Chain A
Amino acid sequence: MVTLLAVERIKLFSTRSPWWCIGLAATIAIGFGALFTALSGSEEFPVSVGVTQIGYGFAANVLLVLAVLAITTEYRFNTIKVTFSAVPNRTSVLLAKTTLVAVVCGVLGEITAFASYGVGRLVKPNADLALNTAHEWRYVAGIGLVYAISAIIGISIGALIRQTAGAISLLLVYTLLVEGLIGLVPKVGDDIQKLLPFVNANHFLTVGNGATAGENNGTGLQMHWGPWGALAYFVAVAAVLLVAAIAVVERRDA
């Protein structure tokens, strides 16, 4: 397993796209946090810990792309065949890859979250930006967790679809558009929206942090669960997708 992890680490970091994604995600998360914090402070847009983290959703999409690419490029360049020939146990290959990408995204999330927070404090040294409630801690420290679980979803979708363009389009259109627009459907829209994975991930992070920090995505939904229940649901969705991906990868030709 350790060897497999090392193999996946070498494969991932010897291509340029993950570096681009990592740089972009960090720039976006920290840059947006700094921008919003610098321009906040008015009556309707007060400074808060949540505001320093507001770029997380933007950066999360870049990390989804990173996760998708980690598996679809293997199919594109046929290296997946070499990998599976070398290690016929496909489940362990996929698990090693998922673990590695999730850890990378998780660590990156923690670093960018605390860096965004630090930059926010530098930008507004006089504002009350102390991390002194559980909600604030959950928002800042939870970003790595959300990124890691999103990465699992990205890898699973990538493994299921295998084509870079298809997987990226599907995931981005889904996260950026379907999860928001579904709420417009009369009658059933809200009930569906409450059960969507990224809405729940956002709920986990933002609940208790105020509307300007992105609480409830501005949709004012009555969620089923509290923050930890929402996180558990998000994890469950990711686990189901991962199991589906493993089952399909085991069965079909590489």
Chain B
Amino acid sequence: MSLLAVERIKLFSTRSPWWCIGLVAFISIGFAALIAALTDDLEFVTVGSTQVGYNLAFPVILVLAILGITTEYRFSTIRVSFMAVPNRTAVLMAKTTLVALVCGVLGEVTAFISYGVAKLIQPDAGLSIDTGAEWRYVTGIGLVYAIGAIIGISIGALVRQTAAAVSIVLVYSLLFESLIGLVPRVGDDIQKYLPFINANHYLTQGAGEAGGEGAGFGLDMPWGAWGALAYYVAIAVAFLVAATVIVERRDA
């Protein structure tokens, strides 16, 4: 428990997480407001369309999580942490828990605010959360952020350099996962098994085109929404285990 408090103090006493949190809130809520305000066609204002801004905010969450661990390496505070608590696994778990929790709460808060803002702007659009798919989209954002944070922390712990880890994760999530679908013949089959595609499928399945369903790829996904989430979680856990094993073995 005191480890969590330690990690909380370390995280929030630097400025970068505050920047990231502010940016996430601004981007996701702003995008929802923009789409709601600028649409003439009320058909296009759906619960899903109030949430599509999550795509823009999600990379910032990943950056927040990566910085949570790589800045410790950069300023060598990781050595102090490991000297104080020789059980490195416990340190890493505390950090992962804290960052995932922060990102999860942030996701829930921004998702409901985005929805509320869009509803205020377009009161006549009939924005009510009444299907299972709509509930899943709005409440699922926090879950997707939290699991994304686990992946970010793990990659950060494996790579240790901020610039490299941020570049790898952003280029992978923003470019590679969509470009791979362009590869003729095998592209679609690979794409179905990529983690963030599955996270998006979990959120958007049943949300319609305005909600970003299928991320515009029209993929024939192997699982339903919850299967996709389970797969995404499994990948995050695999990364976290790999990161823990490596951090235990190598010099700090």
Contact = CB atoms under 8 A, between A and B. Distances in A.
B174 interface: yes
B183 A169 contact: no
Contacts of B184: 36, 39-42, 45
Contacts of A184: 35, 52
B38 A173 contact: no
Classify chain A's interface size: 20 to 34
A247 interface: no
Contacts of B186: 39
Interface stretch (B85-93, B129-137, B165-173, B198-206): B165-173
Nearest to B63: A169
A20 B60 CA distance: 24
B175 interface: yes
Contacts of B185: 39, 42
Nearest to B184: A39
Interface stretch (A92-100, A132-140, A185-193, A202-210): A185-193
Contact of A177 (B44, B59, B163): B59
B118 to A, nearest CB: 13
A169 B171 contact: no
Contacts of A164: 162-163
Interface string A148-173: 00000000000000001110110011
Interface residues of B, number: 33
Interface in B156-198: 162-164, 166-167, 170-171, 174-176, 179, 182-186
Contact of B38 (A69, A169, A188): A188
Contact of B174 (A54, A166, A173): A173
Interface stretch (A5-13, A58-66, A103-111): A58-66
Nearest to A169: B63
A187 B183 CA distance: 32
Contact of A168 (B44, B167, B179): B167
B201 to A, nearest CB: 18
A178 interface: yes
B167 A172 contact: yes
Given A169-B60, A185-B34, A36 B182 contact: yes
A17 B163 CA distance: 10
B76 interface: no
B139 to A, nearest CB: 23
Interface of B: 16, 19, 34-35, 38-41, 44, 52, 55-56, 59-60, 63, 67, 70, 162-164, 166-167, 170-171, 174-176, 179, 182-186
The 5 closest A-B pairs by CB, nearest first: A176-B174, A39-B184, A172-B170, A186-B38, A186-B39
29 contacts: A20-B164, A36-B183, A36-B184, A39-B185, A58-B179, A65-B163, A65-B167, A164-B163, A165-B16, A165-B163, A165-B166, A166-B16, A169-B60, A172-B166, A172-B170, A172-B171, A172-B174, A173-B60, A173-B170, A173-B174, A176-B175, A177-B55, A177-B56, A177-B174, A184-B35, A185-B34, A185-B38, A186-B44, A187-B39
